[in-house]
Amino acid sequence: MNSFTYARAADVIDAVQQGTRVHAKYLGGGTNLVDLMRETLEQPSALVDVSGLSSDITEREDGSLLIGAAARNTAVAEHRAVRTRYPLLARAILAGASGQIRNMATVGGNLLQRTRCTYFYDNDGSRCNKRTPGQGCDAIQGFNRIHAILGASPSCVATHPSDMCVALAALDALVHVTGLDGSRTIAVVDLHRLPGDHPEIETNLRPGELITAVELPALPFAQRSVYRKVRDRASYAFALISVAAALDLDHGIVKDVRLALGGVAHKPWRALKLEASLKGQPATTQSFLAAVEEELADATPLPHNKFKVELAKRTVVAVLAELAGDIS
């Protein structure tokens, strides 16, 4: 691990001023960043500790929920408003990591965790464009069972590891950020980038911008929502496929739907084609299957992960059928 300075931010402005220094990194819970530093995949010259900034979870008059970026994952999952109004988010967080990790990890850090691709972590023996731009991607011709089937490129086929982010994508969450140019909001579905020719650029944050909060808009039908994660083992493995969904029915007809997929792409994948296809359709297995097949029509699986296409279809249909049964 290389030498670095450490400073605890007094407030958001102080954090941003320090965070714009060359090779500075924001430190929340450290559950991903510190691991990356140990592996020399991250070598910051300065750590700016933002774990003491806002951790409040505030219910607002318009029905939305504002979650401070320094809120611990455990606090979010256990919050009454999250459990009752956005249960898919609580379930996603609980599925994502052990209690010890959840007690340390922050919301802002969860949004910015990096891929768990084996080739990305193999700093000595594998080529990785995300780690070293222009080097190549050994995952494409290697063992790619856990890799992307949607939105990948010849430069990178890694998947985003977060469970929480999949739920946030389904909930139309907004990310509040502050930088030297002021504050702005970014839709969580626009926070992360697809790899294209530059997989090393993972988000649309500007240099030095700090995530300060996540906003959950009022979404009444999200009270009946599901997060389902399919993985190799029950104890905190990363998702092969995950589905976050909320369904609003009117006499057996889909009035509205929100659905996002995890384990399939370089970012949480909002299933917009599926949503558009389902609205106004009867809530049946046939309509659910037709909609997910439309969503996955452009899937490009790799030699070892072709099973993901069928697994995604079956998981989506099962989740939507569960929600339709709950509501009927």
Q: Express each pLDDT in 174-228 by its tens digit.
A: 999 999 999 999 999 999 999 999 999 999 999 999 999 999 999 999 999 999 9
Burial track 149-160 (b if 16+ CB lie within 10 A, e otherwise): bbbbbebbbbbb
Query: pTM for the full model?
Result: 0.96
Q: State pLDDT tens for residues 112-160.
A: 999 989 999 998 889 999 999 999 999 999 999 999 999 999 999 999 9
Helix axes 285-295, 307-327, angle to 10 degrees: 140
Question: Where, residue-wise, is CATH 3.30.390.50 in the chain?
Answer: 228-327
**Residues 21-39: what's their mean pLDDT?**
94
- Residue 303 makes CB contacts below 8 A (sequence gap 6+) with 144
The Cα–Cα gap between 177 and 46 comes to 20
Question: Residue 186's beta-bridge partner residues?
Answer: 175
User: CATH topology for 228-327?
Assistant: Enolase-like; domain 1 (3.30.390)
Give the pLDDT confidence score for residue 62 in this predicted structure: 96
The candidate with the shortest Cα–Cα distance to 128, out of 159, 155, 162, is 155
Q: State pLDDT tens for residues 293-306.
A: 999 999 999 999 99
Average pLDDT, the chain: 96
Which DSSP state fits 309? H
**Residues 13-40: what's their mean pLDDT?**
94
User: CATH topology for 5-51?
Assistant: 3.30.43
Give the pLDDT confidence score for residue 146 in this predicted structure: 96
Length of the chain: 328
The candidate with the shortest Cα–Cα distance to 219, out of 256, 270, 273, is 256
Question: Where, residue-wise, is CATH 3.30.43.10 in the chain?
Answer: 5-51
Task: Tell me how many degrees the CA angle 48-194-174 measures, rounded to the nearest 5.
Answer: 60
